[in-house]
Every structure is written in structure tokens, then in C-alpha cells.
A and B are shown apart, each in its own frame.
Chain A
Amino acid sequence: MGTQGLQVERGESGPEEVIGLSGALTVQHLAALHAELEVAPPHALIDLTGVTRIDTAGAWALAEFEQRVSAAGGAVQYRGATEGAELLLSTVRRAMPIAEELPARPGGIHALLETTGRRVMGAAGFLGGLLEYLGLFLAGLFRVMRHPREFRFTSLVAHCDDVGLKAVPIVSLMAFLIGVVLAFQGATQLRQFGAEVFVVDLIAISVLRELGILLTAIIVAGRTASAFTAAIGSMKMRQEIDAMRTLGLDPVTVLFVPRILALLLMLPILGLIADLMGLFGGALMSWIELGISPSMFRTRLVADVDVSNVIVGLVKAPVFAVIIGVVGCHAGMQVKGDAESLGRMTSSAVVTAIFAVIVADALFSIFFAEVGL
């Protein structure tokens, strides 16, 4: 195949132009063949006697040539075509695509306005969807409270293990390092004023009020929101959710309530662990770097730092938990039939959850500043 190239001879014979084709009329030589047949005579006789091989590309070039000749009122005849070539030609002739004008897409300012409008409506719809799922979760929670027997306790425990216990190492390590970093940075700055000892206040207040719970929530958002989306989304993909509905199981009670409830129970505990580990890291670094002994650290901590800091920090945990859980479950339910949308929704769940947690944290800060806590 393809060893013989393509040869074209053109000659006049009466009213018709004779085009002798020989060699391989294949896709490899299509460019040459198409160029040779560029000029369409009024009438043509194509001699295919010398053709060794013809494929759909070659047949397409001939059929397209025919179309141009007959559009100009002429006709094309063939000589020496094998049976196979005839069959191929007629198949291709029948299949010649007829170009359709596609509706033009609106451009310019109109399209810009349209996309902006659609995006805004999409964002509003998304917020509405999140609120709807929050409502579904609360309704499911109340239903479970009224009929505790419907509740799957095993499922709750399994999710608590997944969401809480298995997150302890990463959360502890993160909080410990944050304490270390704060102590180190604080020490270098405060030393300039000879106020090293205030590093305790710095670490305690920033870890207890803000960083402990915020960073825990961010880690949990990355770990758990994506896990919720992937789990629920793959169930949606395999129609397990539809199966549940037909079997009279409520996806909200079976899937959402145990997951979000587990987060609700575990995130405050994780936050508390993060607080403790942050203080531990800070104390250790203060001891090494500034010579503040652990007992002195403790004394200053008890004397200077009000317990309200811990409360202000941990009171945010349930809210973050609900945000992360609802975002994760909502995204999971948005998964369509294909794996691509599962991946897209999983990453979007993480981004949305982290963003929403930070926004909520900012709102909390404003609120606490206003009420003077």
C-alpha cells in the first residue's frame, strides 16, 4: 500500500476532458489528488484503469469533483472502475455531507451581558440550592429526633471515625506547627521592645480565637467536603440514590444527616485538639527560643487570657461544620451521569467550602467586635 504514488494524466477527447488516474487514490495522496482535480471542466471522463487502491478519501475527492462539475451543468463519467471501486464510490456519493448553516452565536456586548446575567442567576441559584439543602438537613434532623429509631447510629459512628478520629493526626500536626511559627515570629518581633513575655498572649489569643478553629475547618473542608461529594456523587452516578428513593429510603435521613451530624459533633473536638496542640507548640518554642519556662507560660496564660477567647473560637465550630457538610452533600447531589462531573463537583466542593468558611469567619469577627467580646 502506498508504494505506488499517484499519477494523473489529462487529455482532451471531443467535448470531454479525459482524466487518467493511476496508482493509489488514498488518504496519503489526497492532498495531491484534490489539487489535481481543482479545476472542473464542463464534462469529464475519469479513467480508473490504473488505480491500484482506492479508499474513502479518494472516493470523496472524486465525488466532490462530480458535485462541482454537475453544479456547473456538466457530467462525469467513469471508465475502468472495478466493482469494489464502483460500490465505494456510490456509498461515498450517498454519504456526501450536506453542510448546514449553524445558528450564529450572538457576539459582542450582547453576549457579554447574557453570560454575566446567566452567571449571576447561576450564583443566586447556587446559594438558593445551599439554603435548600440546609433546610433539608434541619428537617431531617428534627425528624430523626422525633423518631430516633429511624436513625442509623452505626452510620453516625462510622462517619465520626472517618471525619473526626482519622483527622486527629493531621490537625494536631498542623496546629502544633502553627504554634511553633507564631512563637518564633512573635519572639523576633517582640524582642525588639523587650516584651518577649507577651508572646504568650500573642500565641494564646491568636490560636484560641482564630487560627485553631479556622485552620482546622479549612483542613476538614479539604478532607471531608471532598469525601462527602465523592461518596454521594458516585452513588448518584450509579443511580443508588434513585434506588433508595424507590425503596422508600430518604436520602436526606440516610446520607446527609449522619454525615453532617458527625461533622457537627467532631469539628468542635478537633478544634479543641488544635487549640491544645497550638498552645503546646507555642510553649515549646517559647521555652527553647525565649527561655520562658512551661510553668511561666502557664501562669501567664491563666492570668492574662480570658476563657472567653476559647468560647469565641469554639462557638464557630458548629457553624463551620454545617457549612462544610451542606456544601459537600449539595455538590454530591449535583453530580451528573459522567465521571467528569464527579471530578468537577469534588474540586468545586472544596473551593466553595473553604471560601464559605472564611466568609463566615469574617462575619463572626465583625459580630464579636460589635458585641465587644
Chain B
Amino acid sequence: MTTAEANDTIIRVRGLRTQFGSHVVHDGLDLDVRRGEILGVVGGSGTGKSVLLRAITGLDRPAAGRIEAFGTEVLDASAEERARLDDRWGVMFQDGALFSSLTVRENVEVPLRRIPDLSPELRRALAELKISLVGLPYRAGDAYPSELSGGMRKRAGLARALALDPEIVFLDEPTAGLDPIGASAFDALINTLSESLGLTVFLVTHDLDTLYATCDRVAVLAEKRVLVTGTLADMLEVDHPWVQEYFTGPRARLARAADRPNAETEAD
């Protein structure tokens, strides 16, 4: 139990196998998530990026394999262990997955209700802080999810995921469907939050700009497993057609060029 905490690997996936009927999505997949990093999970459509996220957070049960989070076996966790895990991670789903019958503030208050002696005023104040932290205006707190734009819903979803100050957040396609300005604002938000809150981020994405702007490490899903993990610079060395195509294609070159000004400051 302490070994996982000691070397700062907070999530350890070993030999994961998931399948739907006879369709095998992952087979023998291994992955480590280290404390404090922003890990980008990329892969072609249908390589099971979101399925991996769902397996780690215990939403889908894999056919075989072990998943260890904070030293707890996710698959064999008792109800209490699950509840403790749920406090330590937050998940932001693709479209925010906000409860449509509650306002944004009430949505953020939902996880806070689990804290026993928090008065309604404090709960409200904390929810307002979280809403402001993710860059939403004060008024958005009183709006219902259907009244918000896609980008604002994603931010609200992130605010709810952050409500209990989790140690790791799982973000499923955080910038999908956002315009470039909204997307880079979201990238900046992820960076700021990860830095100032010491947050570990597990980021499923298609967006090369997001990868270059935020990620410390990248895990590439292909051939039913994690083909390779490493920094973005490492990816250029990988001799695999898909990885080559992905990281050296025209879009990747643009994203890399856009990121270069920041690269120097991040290096030291």
C-alpha cells in the first residue's frame, strides 16, 4: 500500500483487458500516472481512450487486469474504500455532465454535501469560489446548464470535479467542440490549476494544441495497449507509423511551433 505512494505513482494499471462482446478494446494495457503531472492520453478514434478513463474510475468493469489508485485496488474496493477514492479524484465528462435540474452552483455544491458539518453558507461560498476559479462569471452560478454555452458547461463540470480538492482529475476531451480561443483559455486554466493546486491531471484528448500547451507526459494508445509513454520530445523518436504521423503531421508541426515560446521557460 505504501509502495505506490512512496515512488509517487498514484495510479497503476497492469494487464488491463476490456472488451465489449467479442470486440477487444484493450489487451494487456499497462499505464502509470505520477503525482503532479499532466498526462495526456492520445490515440486514434476507437482506441479506447475514454474506455480507459471509465475503467480506471470504476465506471466500467474490465475483463481482466489490475488497477491500483492511491494504493487501493479499484476493482476489489469495498464500498467505503470506493467512497474514499471518490473524494480523492474528480471526473469531468465530455459535455460537463451537469445535473440539468440544478443550477451551476447547486451542481458544484453536490459533492460538498458529503462534508458533514459544512453550513449552507460555507457550502455556497466554496461553490462560488470554485465557479470563479474555473473562470466563470459570478452570474453563471445561478444559471441552469441548458442556459450555458458548451465551453461554460465544461468549465462548470470542472468546477464540480474540483469541488472537494481532489488529488487527480480526469478530463475527457476538455477542449473538444470549443473554439480556438476558448480551447486555449481552457488549456491555460488546466495549467494554472495543476500548478497552484498541485493537481494531477489525466487528460484524454484529440487536440494537439492542448497536448503541447499542457502535457508533461503523453501516453499513446494503439494496438490495444499503451504503445509508448514519454515527453512530447520523446514522441518524435518513436518509430511507429501512427505515432510518426500523429506527432510529425502538419497539425503537430503547427502546434509545436506555437508552443515554442513557452518551451524555454518550462525547461528550467
Contact = CB atoms under 8 A, between A and B. Distances in A.
B197 interface: yes
Nearest to A27: B115
Contact of B133 (A27, A28, A34, A95): A95
Interface residues of A, number: 26
B32 to A, nearest CB: 22
Nearest to B198: A84
A56 B142 contact: no
Interface stretch (A98-106, A125-133, A198-206): A98-106
A175 interface: no
A32 to B, nearest CB: 8
A96 B146 contact: no
Given A27-B164, A88-B197, A100-B138, A56 B122 contact: no
Interface string A65-103: 000000000000000000010011011100111111010
Interface string A330-355: 00000000101000000000000000
B184 interface: no
B5 to A, nearest CB: 11
Interface in B156-208: 162, 164-165, 192, 195-198
Interface stretch (B21-29, B57-65, B124-132, B241-249): B124-132
Contacts of A34: 122
Given A60-B129, A64-B125, A92-B129, A31 B117 contact: yes
A340 B101 CA distance: 10
Contacts of A100: 138-139
B118 interface: yes
B97 to A, nearest CB: 13
Contacts of A91: 133, 192, 196-197
Contacts of A27: 112, 115, 118, 126, 164-165
B130 A56 contact: yes
Instruction: Identify which of B100, B196, B198 gathers the most chain A CB atoms within 10 Å of its CB.
Output: B196
Contact of B146 (A28, A60, A64, A338): A338
A97 B138 contact: yes
B118 A95 contact: no
A95 B115 contact: no
Contact of B129 (A95, A102, A340): A95
A340 B100 contact: yes
Contacts of B198: 84, 88
Interface in A9-61: 26-28, 30-31, 34, 55-57, 60
A57 to B, nearest CB: 6
Given A27-B118, A56-B133, A56-B165, A97 B192 contact: no
A66 to B, nearest CB: 14
Interface string A101-141: 01000000000000000000000000000000000000000
A30 B131 contact: no
B205 to A, nearest CB: 24
A239 to B, nearest CB: 14
Contacts of B119: 31
Nearest to B142: A102
B132 A95 contact: yes
A90 B112 CA distance: 23
Contacts of A30: 115, 118, 122, 126
A88 B165 CA distance: 12
Given A30-B115, A102-B139, A340-B100, A88 B132 contact: no
B138 A31 contact: no
Interface in B105-156: 112, 115, 117-119, 122, 125-126, 128-133, 138-139, 142, 146
A96 B132 contact: yes
Instruction: Identify which of B129, B130, B132 gathers the most chain A CB atoms within 10 Å of its CB.
Output: B129
B145 to A, nearest CB: 9
Nearest to B115: A27
Given A27-B165, A100-B139, A60 B126 contact: yes
Contacts of B131: 97
Instruction: Identify which of A28, A30, A100 gathers the most chain B CB atoms within 10 Å of its CB.
Output: A30
Nearest to B166: A55
Nearest to A339: B100
A97 B135 CA distance: 10
A31 B100 CA distance: 29
A25 to B, nearest CB: 11
Contacts of A98: 138
A26 B129 contact: no
9 contacts: A27-B126, A31-B119, A34-B122, A55-B197, A56-B197, A60-B125, A95-B129, A338-B146, A340-B146
Given A55-B197, A56-B197, A95-B133, 5 more contacts: A64-B125, A91-B197, A97-B131, A102-B142, A338-B100
Interface of A: 26-28, 30-31, 34, 55-57, 60, 64, 84, 87-88, 90-92, 95-100, 102, 338, 340
Going nearest first, the 5 A-B pairs with the smallest beta carbon separation are A55-B165, A91-B196, A97-B128, A97-B132, A95-B132
